Chain A
Amino acid sequence: MSEFRNDVSIVLGGAAGQGIQTVEGILTYALKKSGYHIYANKEYMSRVRGGINTTEIRVSSRRVRAFVRRIDIPVPFKQGVLSWVEDRLSDTTVVLGERENVEESFLGKVNLVEVPLTKLALETGSQLYINTTAAGLIVGLFHGDFGAVEEYIRKRFGSKGENVVGKNIEAAKKGYELGVKLCEQGTIKVEVGRDEKVREEILLSGTEAVGIGALAGGMNFLSFYPMSPSTGVSTFAAQKAEEFGIIVEQVEDEISAINMALGAWFAGARAMVSTSGGGFALMSEALSLAGMAENPIVIHLAQRPGPATGLPTRTMQGDLNLVLYAGHGDFPRIILAPGSMEEAFYLTAEAFNLADKYQVPVIILTDQYFVDTYYNLPRPDLDKVKFERYIVEAKPGYRRYELTEDGISPRAVPGYGEEVVIANGNEHDEWGDITEDAELTRKMQEKRAVKKLETIRKNAPLPKLVGEENADYLVVSWGSTLHAVEEALEELGRDDVALLHFSWVYPLNPETKRFFNDKTVIVVENNVTGQFADLLKKELGVEIHHRVLKYDGRPFSVEEVFDALKGVVE
């Protein structure tokens, strides 16, 4: 008998186009509705059909938000899946599936619980139902709420007619009954506690958190050119365009995307572009224009490994240096990197206020791992979302680039007030007209690159400290590695190790330095050189003692971070 308690990691694997997403959809929906904490993440190959894609679903009695290497129950939908995840299997792993989907070499090695999915599906009427049968089976193992499975099927297949809905429910039921039977006969034992609060929580992905955060921040214009893994945010916005009455336009290239968005901001809209590293590279000319013209812009950059085309569907935190230094000339920018769904929602909304207030590019850095992750969380509090508008009326005598103490000039928009607004990508005077005056050039350079940057810097929020302020070890995470590091630290359970998480990545408030005093600093990041560690050193002059880096295109697992930290502190 195999027992799983409190936290079960299920991995579904199959070819692209085999319907894994249907199973994932039913499972996460029904299990969350049954009161289980859910985490899900997928990894996929850069192809539309075939290959091997997997989805990890953690079902837990407590909140889980990070990727684990461990696989408790793999469900292979084709041969090759087990080989693909071989290094994640252990003696306690139970393979749930059909013999034909298990490679010969694994037959003697793994605990295989054969389940007649094809047979059950055929009994329902067609092999097509195999996915719903499998989903029912897993929900059955948890004695989950079958009503939720039915509900999901009605929602998802409702438009295909009552027959399709009925057949799918029947198929799911057969699977469910088998799952319950496996438990009753003692083949598998699953004990995961339910948490009533979970039922009322929401399931949200990184893509959705950024997308809905943007809408909460007043985004009313989005221009984009599709590029994995950022496209989801644009698709999300396009799907919401009619309801929210916003403009979403797929344009000819990334150059056009960002320029159109700059024009939109110039006219007073709140615009965003969503892209990935390669697309952002094309945008850097316009980024520089935003810097010079003090044109606000919000950019969502979902990182994937580079350089160039890199690994199009995989993950890395490798574009920090790109966004830090992109563009010619000196100008300030703000870089945000959410670590949780909550942060993604609130920070993306806030990005629009920041862009509006400081009139700089605000870049939201996520990555493939983050945008494709989802889990349950309490519904965000909309009272915490503040809409701050900084537009002024252009009255006679208005000067777009008025020299001010804090480096922030009043920004008017065309058509509001009787005076005109002149913006300029050339060096300019206070009115916005071209100048080559040496003194004025010096003042304008200082205004943008020194005064304004300092204003932003001193108002930058501090990173979040988890643990004791006087801990000996300080583990640093930024962006999407938050949860893996958090969970690894919980497991480590040592009072002398604290976590410092940065979701506001640049510029750094000088006060941040105090967190590092007399500590052994360990930076965890998903890239090959430790770009954020270098930034900390450069910005704050802190010494970095250890860099825990991962750069194989995969996210950190809790186990990997745990092992690495254990190695350092013990």
Chain B
Amino acid sequence: MNLPTGREAFEPRRPGSKDIAWCPGCGNFGIRNILISALAELGLKPSEVAIISGIGQAAKMPHYINANGYHTLHGRAIPIATGVKASNPELTVIAEGGDGDMYAEGGNHLLHAIRRNPDITVLIHDNQVYGLTKGQASPTTMVGMKTPTQPWGVFEEPFNPIALAIAMNASFVARTFMGYFRESVEIIKKAIQHKGLAIVDILHPCVSFNKVNTYAWYREHTYWMDDHDPHDREAAFKRALEEDPLPLGIFYVNEKPTFEESVPAYRVDKRPLWKREPRLDLVGKFFEGKRA
């Protein structure tokens, strides 16, 4: 059997992956298309890609794209993706989830992943609301928005993932709006190609539960940074603090050693861990040493 190639290769073929459980008009469809195009344009094969997701609507992505996938737990996609990449650096590893997944439940993992710098791409579907649990506020919900669980209106200051990531000297930080297809594909391609942790905050509407941040709202309240040098951390940080309109594009790029490059496991032996066997010779040597 010849497996398809190109964009077609990433289209789901399994029986259960054809029934897409997103609401009609959901921004996740757009992100799916963007991701498929990015992977195909990079010339990758489905077997070389692993998409690790958490829980939520965004986290259903592994079922709707034909690539290796692991649909895991709320907030835990990043440590799992880190383990996958570290065990097989030959894979292109993407951690995917929503704003609740990455910024609330998994917030601590995001912080420490920035420190650890595994060579993975973190895609955050940021619709500023909890969709799967029906419209509660998320860490990025704007002040004043009323929800079923914040009927008085949200008063917590929204989480600023871009400023946070730059403050922590992350390796690659970008923001896009999925309504801009071509630009988003290019950003995600760059994020995947970037060596080190790449964080892409992807704005997208939730047509069912977020009546504030609509397609039109994102178009009206965002702009592309045309004159920005992503190697200038201070400038990046300044841009990150802009609130309205929100800048889009690559804020910050900082090349530094990755987790996989830093662990001793690949210094001599480059093979992924699954190809390796126990070093009984060294175990024997250890016992010899315990004799003395």
Binding site for B on A (CB under 8 A): 151, 200-204, 208, 212, 215-218, 220-221, 223, 240-249, 251-253, 255-257, 259-271, 285-286, 289, 293, 349, 379-380, 382, 385, 387, 391, 394, 396-397, 413-426, 428-429, 431-435
Instruction: List, sorted by A's number, 12 A–B pairs whose CB atoms are closer than 8 Å.
Output: A201-B291, A241-B263, A251-B79, A256-B79, A262-B72, A264-B87, A267-B83, A267-B91, A269-B88, A413-B88, A426-B71, A429-B15
Residue B286 lies at the interface, judged by CB distance under 8 Å to chain A: yes
Cβ–Cβ contact B16 & A415, under 8 A: no
A397 partner residues in chain B, CB cutoff 8 A: 1
Residue B225 lies at the interface, judged by CB distance under 8 Å to chain A: no
B152 partner residues in chain A, CB cutoff 8 A: none
Cβ–Cβ contact A422 & B274, under 8 A: no
A221 partner residues in chain B, CB cutoff 8 A: 83, 86-87, 273
Cβ–Cβ contact B291 & A200, under 8 A: yes
Given A379-B291, A431-B15, CB of A269 within 8 Å of CB of B80: no
CA–CA, A270 and B88, complex, Å: 12
Residue in contact with B79 in the complex, picked from A220, A260, A269, CB distance below 8 Å: A260
Cβ–Cβ contact B273 & A269, under 8 A: yes
Cβ–Cβ contact A220 & B73, under 8 A: no
Considering residues A259, A394, A429, A434, which has the most beta carbons from chain B within 10 angstroms of its beta carbon? A259
Given A220-B276, A243-B282, A422-B68, CB of A267 within 8 Å of CB of B84: yes
CA–CA, A201 and B76, complex, Å: 45
A432 partner residues in chain B, CB cutoff 8 A: 14, 69
Cβ–Cβ contact B50 & A414, under 8 A: yes
Cβ–Cβ contact B70 & A293, under 8 A: yes
Cβ–Cβ contact A215 & B283, under 8 A: yes
Cβ–Cβ contact A418 & B47, under 8 A: yes
**Distance (whole angstroms) from the CB of B132 to the closest CB of chain A:** 12
Cβ–Cβ contact A263 & B280, under 8 A: no
B1 partner residues in chain A, CB cutoff 8 A: 396-397
Chain B residue, CB-CB nearest to A268:
B274
CA–CA, A262 and B77, complex, Å: 11
Describe B's contact surface by its main secondary structure: helix
Cβ–Cβ contact B263 & A379, under 8 A: no
Cβ–Cβ contact B88 & A242, under 8 A: no
CA–CA, A420 and B275, complex, Å: 18
Chain A residue, CB-CB nearest to B90:
A415
Known: A245-B265, A260-B82, A434-B71. 15 other contacts (CB 8 A): A202-B287, A215-B279, A218-B276, A221-B86, A221-B273, A263-B81, A264-B87, A266-B80, A267-B85, A289-B72, A379-B291, A380-B287, A417-B47, A422-B62, A424-B63
Given A217-B278, A431-B16, CB of A425 within 8 Å of CB of B71: yes
CA–CA, A495 and B208, complex, Å: 76
Cβ–Cβ contact B60 & A434, under 8 A: yes
Cβ–Cβ contact B274 & A215, under 8 A: no
B76 partner residues in chain A, CB cutoff 8 A: 255-256, 259, 286, 289
Describe A's contact surface by its main secondary structure: mixed
A216 partner residues in chain B, CB cutoff 8 A: 278, 280, 283
Chain B residue, CB-CB nearest to A32:
B291
CA–CA, A30 and B260, complex, Å: 42
B111 partner residues in chain A, CB cutoff 8 A: 252
Residue B239 lies at the interface, judged by CB distance under 8 Å to chain A: no
Residue in contact with B14 in the complex, picked from A289, A385, A422, CB distance below 8 Å: A422
B117 partner residues in chain A, CB cutoff 8 A: none
B81 partner residues in chain A, CB cutoff 8 A: 263
CA–CA, A151 and B291, complex, Å: 13
Q: Which 8 A-B pairs have the closest CB atoms?
A: A268-B274, A263-B83, A433-B16, A263-B80, A414-B68, A202-B290, A269-B87, A269-B273
Residue B45 lies at the interface, judged by CB distance under 8 Å to chain A: yes
Residue in contact with A264 in the complex, picked from B45, B83, B112, B279, CB distance below 8 Å: B83
Given A245-B269, A267-B50, A268-B273, CB of A387 within 8 Å of CB of B287: no
**Distance (whole angstroms) from the CB of A330 to the closest CB of chain B:** 18
Cβ–Cβ contact A385 & B46, under 8 A: no
CA–CA, A391 and B80, complex, Å: 19
Residue B203 lies at the interface, judged by CB distance under 8 Å to chain A: no
Residue B216 lies at the interface, judged by CB distance under 8 Å to chain A: no
Cβ–Cβ contact B15 & A245, under 8 A: no
B69 partner residues in chain A, CB cutoff 8 A: 420-423, 432
Given A244-B282, A245-B264, A252-B112, CB of A259 within 8 Å of CB of B47: no
**Distance (whole angstroms) from the CB of B197 to the closest CB of chain A:** 14
CA–CA, A256 and B280, complex, Å: 29
A202 partner residues in chain B, CB cutoff 8 A: 287, 290-291
CA–CA, A231 and B83, complex, Å: 20
Residue B32 lies at the interface, judged by CB distance under 8 Å to chain A: no
A396 partner residues in chain B, CB cutoff 8 A: 1, 3
Cβ–Cβ contact A253 & B108, under 8 A: yes
A247 partner residues in chain B, CB cutoff 8 A: 86-87, 263-265, 273
Cβ–Cβ contact A433 & B17, under 8 A: yes
Residue in contact with A431 in the complex, picked from B17, B87, B90, B116, CB distance below 8 Å: B17
Cβ–Cβ contact A269 & B274, under 8 A: yes
Chain A residue, CB-CB nearest to B271:
A245
CA–CA, A106 and B90, complex, Å: 68
In B77-128, the 8 Å CB interface with A consists of: 79-88, 90-91, 108-109, 111-112, 116
CA–CA, A419 and B48, complex, Å: 10
Given A264-B273, A394-B47, CB of A246 within 8 Å of CB of B265: yes
Quick one: CB contact mask for B52-65 with A, threshold 8 Å, 1 for yes?
A: 10010000101100
Given A221-B86, A380-B287, A396-B1, CB of A286 within 8 Å of CB of B73: yes
CA–CA, A221 and B85, complex, Å: 12
Cβ–Cβ contact B277 & A218, under 8 A: yes
CA–CA, A422 and B63, complex, Å: 8
